[in-house]
């Protein structure tokens, strides 16, 4: 059985969680930290595992425990995609902010490098660019335009791709756009920070 760690960071033997005796394993802490940076939640479990830098099996066990303790929530939601489908979306419960504040504040997640960028806009995002022929767009040349359109859309499934794939310079430019919603600006900031391991 994995060593569990108290919310103050000290090692402790496994114990039932109640009040001040709440203890969390390293995977559980990382899952909480990852969800705290993604207010709209994550799905499926594999995405939680990737964001928390744990294995899918560790993420699944951690989510089950955290759900039982009321530190995370899981709701079936309709997500915008082609075709539209329902997914179990994992989010951080409000109670986590006051029950384990030190975990959320101090848990370090690894830097997330930008993903490989294609030369053209992927087909699955073209419905967001209804006004013209997206075959004319080229990346990274038009990265700022692509980032702005995707992040201004309501298609949350496309946001992660833009934040993880498009160049930092393009994201910084879009973050300065006056009409970009504040939550999207915060997501850009967090994405850029993740790329530099918290030093940027």
Residues 147-167: pLDDT tens digits? 999 999 888 768 888 988 899
Average pLDDT over residues 135-151: 92
pLDDT of 69 above 60: yes
Spatial distance between the Cα atoms of 146 and 127, rounded to a whole number of angstroms: 12
pLDDT, greater one: 29 or 194: 29
Q: 112 φ, ψ to 5°?
A: -110, 110
Q: Using alpha carbons, select from 69, 83, 174, 164 the residue that is nearest to residue 124.
A: 83
pLDDT at 190: 86
> Which residues have C-beta within 8 Å of that of residue 30, sequence separation ≥ 6?
52, 53, 54, 62, 107, 109
Confidence of residue 114 (pLDDT cuts 50, 70, 90): low
> Residue 2: what pLDDT?
45
pLDDT at 10: 40
pLDDT over 50 (residue 5): no
Nearest-angstrom CA–CA distance, 25 and 101: 15
Domains of the chain: 4-106 (1.10.10.10), 123-195 (no CATH)
Listed in sequence order, the residues at least 6 apart from 27 whose beta carbon sits closer than 8 Å to its beta carbon are 2, 52, 54, 58, 59, 61, 62
**3-state class (DSSP) for residue 91:** strand
pLDDT for 193 equals 85
Residue whose entry in the numeric block shows the structure tokens 């099996």: 57
Q: What pTM, to 2 d.p., does this model score?
A: 0.54
User: In 3D, which of 149, 159, 139, 135 has the Cα closest to residue 39?
Assistant: 159
Provide the pLDDT for residue 198.
Answer: 52
pLDDT in tens, 15-27: 334 344 688 999 9
E strand or H helix at 76, and its extent? Answer: strand 72-79
Which two three-digit tokens encode residue 48? 């939680």
């Amino acid at each position: 059985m994995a060593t569990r760690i108290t919310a103050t960071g000290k090692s402790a033997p496994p114990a039932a969680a109640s009040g001040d005796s709440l203890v969390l394993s390293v995977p559980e802490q990382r899952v909480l930290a990852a969800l705290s940076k993604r207010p709209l939640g994550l799905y499926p479990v594999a995405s939680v595992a990737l964001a928390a830098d744990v294995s899918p099996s560790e993420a699944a066990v951690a989510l089950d425990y955290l759900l039982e303790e009321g530190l995370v929530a899981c709701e079936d939601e309709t997500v915008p995609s082609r075709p539209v489908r329902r997914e179990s979306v994992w989010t951080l419960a409000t109670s986590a902010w006051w029950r384990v504040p030190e975990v959320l504040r101090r848990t370090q997640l690894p830097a997330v490098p930008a993903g490989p960028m294609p030369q053209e806009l992927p087909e699955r995002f073209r419905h967001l660019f209804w006004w013209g022929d997206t075959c004319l767009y080229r990346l990274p040349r038009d990265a700022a335009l692509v980032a702005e359109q995707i992040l201004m859309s309501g298609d949350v499934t496309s946001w992660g791709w833009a934040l993880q794939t498009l160049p930092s310079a393009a994201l910084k430019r879009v973050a300065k756009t006056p009409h970009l919603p504040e939550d999207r600006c915060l997501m850009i900031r967090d994405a850029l920070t993740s790329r530099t391991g918290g030093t940027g």
